[in-house]
Structure formats: structure tokens, C-alpha cells
């Protein structure tokens, strides 16, 4: 038996909608938003730029934040990427 909650994303305390923006804007906005958060808080990021699949994990790794969960879902205008990041 598996725990279904293990695959569910964490509850976010902050949200950032970077839909429609292209590199480098999503990561720039992410960086600014994370600065305003307290340690341990979780940010949910929405993006449509496929480069975020590479850029956001590298951003987290470089700055020491934790990428808790990522998810891609279909949308009318193309894929929507969701990320949950815990600030260090």
C-alpha cells in the first residue's frame, strides 16, 4: 500500500504566476519573491516557459533552496509548469 499524500504537492504560503513570461523573467521574479520570504516558507511558481524546467532546479541548487515538487500539466496554450520551492 502506498501513501497517496507522498505524491501531492506541499501547501504553499506564497504564489508566483510567471505564466506568459520567457527567460530570464521567471527566474528574476522568483529570485525577488524568495528574498521576501522567511526561511522554511514554501512558494508555488506557475510558468509556461519550458526553460524553467532547467532554470528553476539550477536556481534552487545554486542558492540552497529546496525544490520540493514539480509538475507539468497540459493547458490550451501549451504546457503549464508548477514548482514548489522551500526557502532555505
Contacts of 20 (CB under 8 A, 6+ apart): 48
pLDDT, one tens digit per residue, over 71-81 is 999 988 899 99
Three-class SS of residue 6?
Answer: helix
The pLDDT of residue 6 is: 54
Residues annotated as catalytic (active site), given as ranges = 23
All 3 cell numbers of residue 79?
A: 504546457
Reported as a pLDDT band with limits 50, 70 and 90, residue 82 is: very high
* pLDDT reading at 34 higher than 50: yes
Q: What is the dihedral of CA 28, 62, 71, 74, to 10 degrees?
A: 40
pTM: 0.89
Contact 25, 59 (CB under 8 A): no
> Which 3 state secondary structure label does DSSP give 43?
strand
Amino acid at each position: 500500500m502506498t501513501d497517496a499524500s507522498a505524491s501531492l504537492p506541499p501547501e504553499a504560503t506564497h504564489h508566483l504566476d510567471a505564466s506568459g513570461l520567457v527567460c530570464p523573467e521567471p527566474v528574476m521574479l522568483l529570485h525577488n519573491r524568495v528574498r521576501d520570504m522567511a526561511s522554511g516558507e514554501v512558494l508555488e511558481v506557475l510558468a509556461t516557459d519550458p526553460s524553467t524546467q532547467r532554470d528553476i532546479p539550477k536556481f534552487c541548487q545554486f542558492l540552497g533552496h529546496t525544490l520540493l515538487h514539480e509538475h507539468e500539466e497540459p493547458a490550451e496554450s501549451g504546457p503549464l509548469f508548477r514548482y514548489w520551492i522551500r526557502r532555505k
